[in-house]
Structure 1
Amino acid sequence: MAAAPALAQQESGDAPPPVASAPATTQGARSYTPQDFARFSPRTALDMLRQVPGFTIQAQDQERRGLGQATGNVLINGQRFSGKSNDVVTELGRISAANVTRIDIVDGATLSVPGLSGQVANIITASTGVSGSFAWRPQIRARRTEARLTNGEFSVSGKAGGWDYTASFANDSFRNGNAGPEIVFTPDRTIIDRRDEVLYAYGEQPRISGSLKRETDGGSILNLNAAAGLFYQDIDEKSLRSGLGQPDRDRRLHEQEREWNYELGGDYEFDLGDGRLKLIGLRRFEHSPFEQELLIDFADGRPRQGDRFEQIADEAETIGRGEYRWNAGGADWQVSGEGALNILDIENRLFALNPAGDWVAVAFPNSVATVKEKRAEAALSYGRPLSPNLTLQTSVGAEYSILSQSGEAGLTRKFVRPKGFVSLAWKASPLLDVSAKLEREVGQLNFFDFVASANVSGGTTNAGNVNLVPQQSWTVELEATRNLAAWGTATARLYGSRITDIVDIVPIGETGQAPGNLDSATRYGVQWTSTFNFDPIGWKGAKIDLDLQFEKTRLEDPLTGLFRQINENAYRQIAINFRHDVPQTDWAYGWGIDHFAQTPGFRLDQKFQFSNTPGNVGVFVENKDVMGLTVRGSVDNILGTNEAFDRSFYDGRRTNGLLFTESRDRFYGPVFTVAISGNI
């Protein structure tokens, strides 16, 4: 298929500098060159990919079991990125736009990378020497919250001594806050408590990361990548309370986390016999001290009350994987094997404040443990064209795991789970791509659910459950992408899943509750992703991007036996973004709407729901040449969306009578951001 029409209005002198020869365009690909993105003045490969018409980036699944077969929808030079928290999106942010030769959009089932389906972006890069970029994004909210001044990053990439390299430093800092009333009322709407509340949240996430790549004359390829970072967060909430028959109260909550983490990964690919062998390794570690402290002072002089929860958690993951692929009989074959060790070493402690003002430990069974999973998997994959316009890819495999927990509730269990998929890619016409996929998946358990935990802010505890098993599902997807030529691109995706052993909150004993497995659930939905250009009607440089997703879920409530939706599941997500790059100028402007809605959450004694109606609406103005820099000013939440939360409490269980309801409505006002980016 011919390349899509250029997106930009080019002038003489706009062409990028020449680069080394790039791989041939994949047959059937929709291709974009640097000229197609010139009007956006991109600084990195990530900036370019975000402007590909009708394409939404899906990062690799960081919560999946091990590495497994490829996930997400982005490749770099035809290869998956061997990382998890240090993922392909991070790598794209380190690659200068000057080093991007081309972006191909192709159906994943046509590639020799098992696991991919639907529209996949292959970023073709070639080093043109040392280059880099930086960005700084100061932000301030109209009410209360201090300015965010430390959010930004810089990166550099290049070639030295036969090695391609990238390196970056980034800090994804945040300063959030809100304030407003919370009302507590009985079923007959009698108000029993009034609360004036203010919340502040501060966070710093500095992170360094980098990668090295070397390709020998014989075609062997070595990739190395590493990342290390901190996550420091502080949350303070103040609540002044008064109610019927109660003294006035001053409630203070402080929450903090002081995490450090690292990830090391790499792969080496080389010829072996009639095929290619790729060896992959990865090591991740995270140390996360966390605490919550709640204090309540009373106006009538009674002793202060308080609760405190402390957690120290060490998470580690070590993975070794091998993939051997070859071509025989007109088909691509791959056999893969993987071994992984996942460990959570955790200690949770709970304290209460006595009348003398001392913290006293509270009995907290099953709160100290080491959870460990040893896992191995093997798979055989096969792919071939069935006709000039139809391609088949399939994989069959299984995993074996030993799951153990030490401590008071020590237990060891073994599992064997089949997995695999079959997918088809059909080139229905030069402008229409259709793909279908049926997959058997095995989910990843949250090891924190195995041990008892508490939330002193919400007043809840989970007993912990050592009998959890991974959920499994059958998933089917159907995706169609229509190239609208000069008008843009549109993709529609239908999907559905039949899930077994889904994790939800279940009864433990007569009064306890904890995450546990339910027999089954269903999930189905539709997603629409598109870009419509207004150039054909004479509005040069204007476009609108739509990303809409609607989802329905169903499971049987473990307490009532009635059918409801999955806890806190996003059932509606709407993102509409308009942008106009004014021809023959460096100016652009636009607006965006971002809205989501989620289902209620259920505990055995509570029902709760967050809402953000009507959602975020923002506008921006951008100049792409302010002394060589791109400067963008934006205002978000101009409609004044509040953060609302409602929670209903029942008499022991939700099957009993309703006691009272908390209703919160917190205002945070407009958010002002300046983004300054440039090349190094």
Structure 2
Amino acid sequence: MAGSAFCIAAPVAAQEEAGEETTGPTADQSGAIQTSSTEMRGQVYNPDFFEQFAPRNALDMVARIPGFTIDDGNRGQRGLGEANQNVIVNGERFSSKSESIRDQLQRIPAADVVRIEILDGTSLDIPGLTGQVANIVRNSSGTSGQFRWRTGFRAHNTEAQLFGGEISLTGTSGALGYTISLSNENNRFGADGPTLITAADGSLIEEQYSKFSGKFDNPKLATNFTYDFGGETTANLNLSYGSDFFMRNQPETGLPPGGPLRTRESTFEETGPEYEIGGDIEFPLGPGKLKLIGLERFERDNGESILIDRFDDNTQSTGFRFLQVNEAGERIGRLEYNWPMFGGDWQVSGEAAFNRLDRASRLFELDANEQFIELAFPEGTGGVTEDRFEAIASYSSQLSDTLSFQLSLGGEYSKIEQTGVAANSRSFQRPKGAASITWKPEDDFDISFEIRRRVGQLSFGDFLASVSLNDNNQNDGNNTLQPDQSWNFDVEINKGLGDWGSAKLQFRHARFEDFVDFFPLASGGEARGNIGNAERTQLELNTTLNGEPVGFDGARLEVRAIKRWMSVIDPFTGLDRPFSNDLNDLLDIDFRHDIPGSDWAWGGGLFTEDKAPFSRRFEVGRDYEGPTFARLFVEHKDVFGLTVNATYANVPGARNKFERTVFDGSRPNAPILFVERMNRRIGPIFRFSVSGSF
């Protein structure tokens, strides 16, 4: 079937006549219009509200909505499933699995946006939505184009970032609507600095110096076509093709107290194509509408790692070479039937998803003649497939002017098969579903609660063995791995603060079964596996504060803060610990001042986060950057009709850090073999962007 639709859910009931004004609007100084429609209550932001920011596209507009943060959902979720993003367009959800919401929003010209509505997700007839949802009411007004060029450089270790950005063309021709874009997501990165290797007593084993640099480019051509056949029958077709180019180079020198000097060559390269084909058609059938959806997605990664250590005293050089080719694909067919009944909106959906991974790995060792000789590594070659079938029935209802309710129940059947030296086949039956309720006594105040049963998505690479040459680690395969399951409890409170702005508070709690992390194998190695039950609780605050009440016109401060509490029993020590590499806390502050009566804006931001350490059989450690990143920017919104932005990032000099303790055997009883502490300079980062329309 020909793939993922740009929009794959039934329209919002209150938006079937998108051009109609809601009843009884009143405006506050924040620019939001308070609505009091019986079917839809929320805040509406008209284009006038965004004029001070001179937006080029819908992404620029959504980013400026007070207290609202775009949630891409889980792009790696199982199949298409129910909606889990918080932005929709004309009452329909995004569905591409290879492109983010931000990618797609920045292709909608600002001139096409009629208004943006902040609605209660539970009241919509799109199963899976809850809390605040931004509905972009769009009406294409002919053919238009836009472009954005992003460039930049860093003071140390990296080449210039020259060719980032996107150019897109959007328009209509009769019943046909189209969007064509050519983009390149790219990045340049690097760091340099010392690493100390010490013994358990603190004595120096080796002093190292490494210089890390890398680059990434992902050129992509993407198209979206829509066609209105009339009679409420519409079709969509999405096509995209791109390729990844990734390179990392990390030369290193090491000097033990007694010598000899060691020089390391360490490189990694990965390239490969990717494509997605998606489509859907929706048409009236009986009392409702039927939508048929298909998707085909594929990606191939060709990777090569080389590590060679040479010594200045004629000691024999040592080294390894690791080759790996991954071919991953996904094929999905889905149907959704929506109809009104018993004062609410009903949907039954069925989905069949077929995922696959084919991997070929080869490991080589450097011999005395400095030639790479292949070693046996059968555990790294094989294939994994999962055939999954899902059926869910859902019901949404506006119980009263202030209360809305949504319920979905269903289940899935999946069969996982593995080929290669560890061939295996298993099948699972899992219940799925959710219930949510929202109380909205005022247009600028609501409380929503959701309980949801989720099934996690496995990384098929965990079934097969792999190696990390630079860290001298090997992950064994695990042919008994199964997806985790979880009960999720979410509470979201949104409150407008009048002229001051708005605030959102979220509480999330998840209880996992069959949680996935590293666990010990009887053979003496380690692999990704199911380690039992786990819990995670998160508290998040998003708030927007305006400067007008204190006489600072045009100023805005946005704050996002997250705190997490986690608990899982470490399978190596039996002790309670947080999730490996998961987030402990985060603080993100953004300030912007659009100077009234001018085209100038300036501001800055601050970002800091703390991540939990990782836990493995033979080591524990932490990989992070910081402690604090800060940036300053200046922007002019009309330089010959263009928007020009210059940014100075990493002002306080955040650094790239890594630390680990490696044991001479299995934890916790083995003695410490060595402790590694790395502290590398990132340096200042300068970025420059130019955007415009045509």
> What band does the TM-score fall into relative to the shorter chain?
over 0.9
1:578 is aligned to 591
CA distance in 2, matches of 1:644, 1:457: 15
Residue segments in structure 2 that go unaligned for 5+ positions in a row: 1-23
Report deviation, 1:386. 2.4
> 2:11 is matched with which residue?
none
> Within 1, Cα distance between the matches of 2:148 and 2:405?
43
> What is the deviation of 1:317?
0.2
Assess, with a 3 A threshold, how the Cα gap between structure 1 residues 4 and 434 changes in structure 2: closer, same or farther. Answer: farther
Structure 2 residue aligned with 1:592: 605
Query: Counterparts in 2 of 1:110-259, with a 5 A limit?
Result: 110-259=123-272
Deviates most, 244-253 or 635-644: 244-253
Question: In the alignment, what sits opposite 1:665?
Answer: 679
User: For 1:195-249, what per-residue CA distance to the aligned partner results, in whole angstroms no more than 9, with x for missing partners?
Assistant: 1110110121111112111223311121111111111011000111100344110
SS at match of 1:187: coil
Instruction: State the partner residue of 2:98.
Output: 85
**TM-score (ref. length: structure 1):** 0.96
- Among 496, 504, 520, the residue aligned to 1:483: 496
- 1:192-591 equivalences under 5 Å are 192-591=205-604
Residues 362-398 of structure 1: CA deviation (Å, up to 9, x unaligned): 2224211110011100011011122221111010000
Q: 2: CA distance between counterparts of 1:228 and 1:523?
A: 38
The reply on whether 1:676 has 2:690 as its aligned counterpart is: yes
Q: TM-score, normalization: structure 2?
A: 0.94
What one-letter code is carried by the residue in structure 2 that aligns with 1:674? Answer: F
- How far off is 1:463 after superposition? 1.0
Paired residue type of 2:228? E
Paired residue type of 1:639: P
**What amino acid maps onto 1:269 in structure 2?**
E
Q: Percent identity?
A: 39
In the aligned structure 2, how far is the partner of 1:644 from the partner of 1:49? 34
State the distance in 2 between where 1:547 and 1:4 align.
Answer: 26
In the alignment, what sits opposite 1:45?
A: 58
Structure 2 Cα separation of the partners of residues 50 and 280 of structure 1: 30
Residue 206 of structure 1 aligns to which amino acid in structure 2?
P
Contact 1:98 1:131 in 2 (8 A): no
2:79 maps to which residue?
66
Task: Work out whether 1:102 is the aligned partner of 2:131.
Answer: no
Output one character per residue of 1:429-456: Cα deviation in whole Å (capped at 9) or x when no partner: 3331110000000001100000010011
For 1:493 and 1:2, how far apart are their aligned partners in 2? 28
C-alpha distance in structure 2 between counterparts of 1:405 and 1:561, whole Å: 31
Alignment of 1:614-653 (within 5 A): 614-653=627-666
Q: Secondary structure, in 3 states, of the residue corresponding to 1:205? A: strand
**Structure 1: distance between partners of 2:242 and 2:26:** 40
| CA shift for structure 1 position 2 | 4.1
**Post-superposition offset of 1:107:** 1.4
- Aligned AA (2:115): R
Query: 1:4 Cα deviation (Å)?
Result: 5.3
Contact 1:525 1:552 in 2 (8 A): yes
Bigger drift between 412-421 and 348-357 goes to 348-357
- Report the secondary structure of 2:541's partner residue: strand
SS at match of 1:151: strand
Matched residue type, 1:488: G
Equivalent pairs counted in the alignment come to 666
Could you tell me which amino acid in structure 2 is paired with residue 172 of structure 1?
Answer: E
User: Structure 1 residue 611 and structure 2 residue 624: aligned?
Assistant: yes
Q: Is the 8 A contact 1:175 1:202 kept in 2?
A: yes
Q: Distance in 1 between matches of 2:113 and 2:28?
A: 18
Equivalent residue letter for 1:90:
D
Q: Counterpart of 1:35?
A: 48
Instruction: For 2:176, give the aligned amino acid.
Output: W
Contact 2:220 2:242 (C-alpha < 8 Å) held by counterparts = yes
Residues 628-671 of structure 1 show CA distances to partners (whole Å, capped at 9, x for unaligned) of 11111110001011111101101111211212111001002110
Shift of 1:6: 5.9
What is the distance in 2 between the residues matched to 1:517 and 1:8? 50
What CA distance in whole angstroms lies between the structure 2 residues aligned with 1:513 and 1:499? 21
Q: What residue is the counterpart of 1:15 in the other structure?
A: none
Find the aligned partners of 1:562 and 1:186 in 2 and give their Cα distance: 25
Q: Check whether the contact 1:528–1:548 (CA below 8 A) recurs between aligned residues.
A: yes
List structure 1 segments (4+ residues) > 6 angstroms apart after TM superposition.
Answer: none
Structure 1 unmatched runs, 5+: 10-23
Could you list the per-position Cα deviations for residues 573-595 of structure 1 after superposition, in whole angstroms to 9, with x for gaps in the alignment? 21100000000000000010011
What code does the residue aligned with 1:677 have?
S
**Secondary structure of 2:552's partner?**
coil
| Residues 4 and 302 of structure 1, relative CA distance in 2, 3 Å threshold | farther
Where 1:567 maps in the other structure, the secondary structure is: coil
Q: Does the Cα contact within 8 Å between 2:197 and 2:674 map onto a contact in 1? A: yes
| Separation in structure 2 between the aligned mates of residue 304 and residue 234 of structure 1, nearest angstrom | 24
Look up the SS of the partner of 1:150 in the other structure.
strand
Per-residue deviation, 1:161: 3.0
Change (3 A) 1:262 1:65: same
Moved more, 509-518 or 360-369: 360-369
Post-superposition offset of 1:334:
0.5
Is the 2:157–2:211 Cα contact (8 Å) retained in structure 1? Answer: no
SS of residue in 1 equivalent to 2:250: strand
Give per-residue Cα distances to partners, 1:279-300, cap 9 Å, x unaligned. Answer: 1111100011011100111101
CA deviations 1:35-56 (Å, max 9, x no partner) are 1111111111111111111111
- Separation in 2 of the partners of 1:143 and 1:595? 22
Measured in 1, the distance between the counterparts of 2:648 and 2:30 equals: 27
What residue number does 1:20 align with? none
The question of whether the paired residues in 1 share the 8 Å contact of 2:538 and 2:562 is answered with yes
Contact preservation (8 Å) 1:6, 1:35: no
CA–CA separation in structure 2 for the residues paired with 1:551 and 1:254: 36
Q: Match of 1:46, SS?
A: helix
CA shift at 1:546, angstroms?
0.9
Q: Which amino acid aligns with 2:377?
A: F
Superposed CA offset, 1:509-556 (max 9, x none): 242100010111000010111111111222111000111111111100
Distance of 1:25 and 1:678 partners within structure 2: 40
- Tell me the distance in 1 between the aligned counterparts of 2:225 and 2:624: 44
Does the 8 A contact of 2:39 with 2:401 survive in 1? no
